[in-house]
Amino acid sequence: MYSVGSTPTAICAIVCMTEEGKENDYGYPDYEASKKLWESVGCTVRGIPNPTEEELKRNLSEIKKDINDKHDYFIFEFIGHGGKKDKEYLRLKDEEEITVAEIRDIFSNKNLPALCGKPKLFFIQACRGRNKEQLYRAATDAASVAGTSATTYSDMFTLYASISDHVSWFSSTSGSSRFISALCEVVRRDFKYHDIKKMATTVSAEVAKGNTDKYAQSIQEVSTLIKEFHFVSPSEANTCFCMCMGRLFICMRKDKLADVNK
Task: Enumerate the domain spans of the chain.
Answer: 10-231, 236-262
Neighbours of 129 (CB within 10 A): 16
Which of 2-11, 172-181, 249-258 shows the highest mean pLDDT? 2-11
pTM of the model: 0.81
- pLDDT of the residue at 175: 72
pLDDT at 215: 77
pLDDT at 138: 45
Per the CB < 8 A criterion, the answer to whether 199 and 228 are in contact is no
Residue 108: what are its φ and ψ, rounded to 5°?
-70, 165
CB 41 within 8 A of CB 7: no
- The per-residue pLDDT for 27 is 78
- Domain covering 10-231: architecture: 3-Layer(aba) Sandwich (3.40)
Residue 253: which H helix or E strand, with range?
strand 247-253
User: Is the model's pLDDT at 253 over the cut of 70?
Assistant: no
Confidence at 12, pLDDT banded by 50, 70, 90: very high
CA 2 to each of CA 38, 43, 69, 156: distance values in angstroms, whole numbers, following the listed order: 18, 16, 14, 12
Amino acid at 71: H
Report whether pLDDT(155) > 70: yes
d(CA 221, CA 151): 19
Give burial (CB, 10 Å; 0-12/13-18/19+) of 162: buried
pLDDT for residue 120: 98
Q: How confident is the model at residue 141 (pLDDT cuts 50, 70, 90)?
A: very low
At 97-128, the pLDDT tens digits run 999 999 999 999 999 999 999 999 999 998 88
How many CB atoms lie under 10 A from the CB of residue 14?
22
Provide the pLDDT for residue 135: 47
User: Cβ(176)–Cβ(113) under 8 Å?
Assistant: no
Q: What is the pLDDT of residues 183-216, one digit of tens each?
A: 999 999 999 999 999 999 999 999 988 877 777 8
Q: How confident is the model at residue 142 (pLDDT cuts 50, 70, 90)?
A: very low
